[in-house]
A and B are shown apart, each in its own frame.
Chain A
Amino acid sequence: QVHLVESGGGVVQPGRSLRLTCAASGFIFSSYGMHWVRQAPGKGLEWVAVIWYDRSNENYADSVKGRFTIARDNSKNTLYLQMNSLRAEDTAVYYCARERRTNMYYFDYWGQGTLVTVSS
């Protein structure tokens, strides 16, 4: 069965960096676009970034553009989110999510999430 497991969250000071990892299993990872979606405490969902199945393209929310980088290693079935210049407003649970189908940008499988807290 499809399994997505995020890791790498924690408490970090403003301006510092953090890298999140999402380990995927149970499906052909290299065939699916992958996304990061976040949820601030007690708030709604916010899409963060996408990377195409073959790494040919990426896209970002304006709120993270220039600070966050999404990447993937298809040989390791792993998705990454490099987060630089972190701000208090980046505090959230970060989920990795699989596209339902190539270029069908809905999310049919989600990880359990990893909490990132940006605080001094």
Chain B
Amino acid sequence: EIVLTQSPATLSLSPGERATLSCRASQSVSSYLAWYQQKPGQAPRLLMYDASNRATGIPARFSGSGSGTDFTLTISSLEPEDFAVYYCQQRNNWPLTFGGGTKVEIK
């Protein structure tokens, strides 16, 4: 099973600041990685797929990069609605696995 490790666990930032979230895989997942955003009491929302492609309706301030084992989700300038938990997920191998999440909180 591929283990995805997200860091940091919590990111404390102010609106307008840049957020950089990391996801590291225990073995290569090629570019087959997605990012999701989840707010309290809601289902996750797909942000990025195949490492760097924005899903439908996702603002341009979200971007993704990486391949192999190291991936990054960047939010260029945090909006109030961006404070949430973010998960990465790989589809390169069964079983599909998620990272443990990074909480982006208001500083």
Answer whether residue B101 sits at the interface, using C-beta atoms and an 8 A cutoff: yes
The verdict on A45 contacting B98 (CB below 8 Å), with A105-B91, A106-B34, A106-B89 known, is yes
Contacting residues, chain A, for B36 (C-beta < 8 A): 45, 107
Inter-subunit contact B100/A59 (CB<8 Å): no
Q: Which of the segments B11-19, B43-51, B68-76 contacts the partner chain?
A: B43-51
B94 touches A104 (CB 8 A): no
Cβ contacts B1-31/A at 8 Å (1 or 0 each): 1000000000000000000000000000000
Interface residues of B: mostly helix, strand, loop or mixed? loop
**Residue contact B43 to A111, C-beta cutoff 8 Å:** yes
Instruction: Report the contact-size class of chain B (Cβ under 8 Å from the partner).
Output: 20 to 34
CB-contact partner of B43 in A35, A47, A59, A113, under 8 A = A113
Besides A45-B36, A107-B36, 15 other CB < 8 A contacts?
A35-B96, A44-B100, A45-B87, A47-B95, A47-B97, A59-B95, A60-B95, A62-B1, A62-B95, A100-B55, A106-B34, A106-B46, A106-B89, A108-B46, A113-B43
Instruction: Give B contacts to A, CB under 8 Å.
Output: 1, 34, 36, 38, 43-46, 49, 55-56, 87, 89, 91, 94-101
What would 12 A/B residue contacts be, using CB atoms closer than 8 Å?
A44-B98, A44-B101, A45-B38, A46-B98, A62-B1, A95-B43, A95-B44, A105-B91, A106-B34, A106-B46, A107-B89, A108-B56
